Amino acid sequence: MEPGLARDALTLLLGFATGVLSALFGVGGAIVSNPGLRALGAEPLVAVGTTLPSILPGAITGTLRYRREGLIDWRLITPAAAAGLLAVVGGSLLSHELPGGGHLLLLLIAVLLAFTAWRTAVTGPSDPAGDEDEGGTGPAIGGGGRTRWVAAGIGVVAGLLSGLLGIGGGVIMVPAFTELLGLPLKSAIATSLVCVGIFGVPATITHAVLGDIDWRLATLLTIGVIPGARIGASLTIRTAERRLRLAVGVFLGLVALVYFVTETRALLQEL
């Protein structure tokens, strides 16, 4: 689509939807804005980079709402975020080294999302005592040292994919926090969103240096993201955990299908 008022309006709407889904599912929102920007005419690597500047303000907006409800597990933030920061930079640098002109990056997102969707919708949390505790810390997570190491490992994988694929890393952290550490889904979403915002800073800087960001589109996305994130967080807080788990799985599965079809077609056209 050619630059103009129509594209600007659609970008604002895309930013609003990104904000809602980012805070609702704790996934950074790039899984929506990436294909959305591709549909608006952005090149694959530009679509990856341009989503990143809007991640931090959206994450801050959602985090403030979740903090008031006590849903964030602050014990996991430091190890997960600290371990993931260097991985974000490394992933951002590697994004230009992978073959396929960016299409293979987005196909990898599709595979990742499909697996995450299945695990979230079909498989229940690993800890049956999954009801949220007062203060939002979730079930008792045993082995403090082990918990920190597991959280750090989750952060490394999420950070690498955040930089490599232009996603917030939430598609890794939300299911990993629930499956490996036994957090309730709402607490996992809230905790993931904090890490998503932290990862977005070095990823944005790195992709900006690489010239992957269209700043006009990024600004419009950010304007739409902020009110959307507030609405998304409110929806998560009001939704029952079991229903939210199904909604997360179905949503991620649909996005995976869109990614797979769109990028496979693009690759076939280049052959």
Helical H segments across the chain, by residue range: 5-25, 30-39, 44-50, 55-69, 77-94, 103-122, 144-165, 170-181, 185-209, 215-238, 241-270
pLDDT of 144 reads 66
pLDDT 10s digits, 50-68: 888 888 888 888 899 899 9
Question: Is residue 29 left, alpha or beta, with left meaning phi > 0 and alpha meaning psi from -120 to 50?
Answer: left
Closest CA to 30 of 186, 230, 164, 176: 164
Show the low-confidence residues of the chain (pLDDT under 70).
1-2, 27-29, 31, 95-96, 98-102, 105, 123-144, 165-168, 271
pLDDT of 123 reads 62
Q: Which amino acid is at 140?
A: A
Cβ neighbours of 165 (radius 10 Å): 26
pLDDT of 96 reads 67
pLDDT of 250 reads 87
pLDDT of 151 reads 92
Q: Which two structure tokens, joined as six digits, stand for 124? A: 């229940």
Tokens 């799985």 correspond to 249
**How many CA atoms are closer than 13 Å to the CA of 238, on its beta-carbon side?**
6
pTM: predicted TM-score of the whole model, two decimal places: 0.75
pLDDT of 168 reads 60
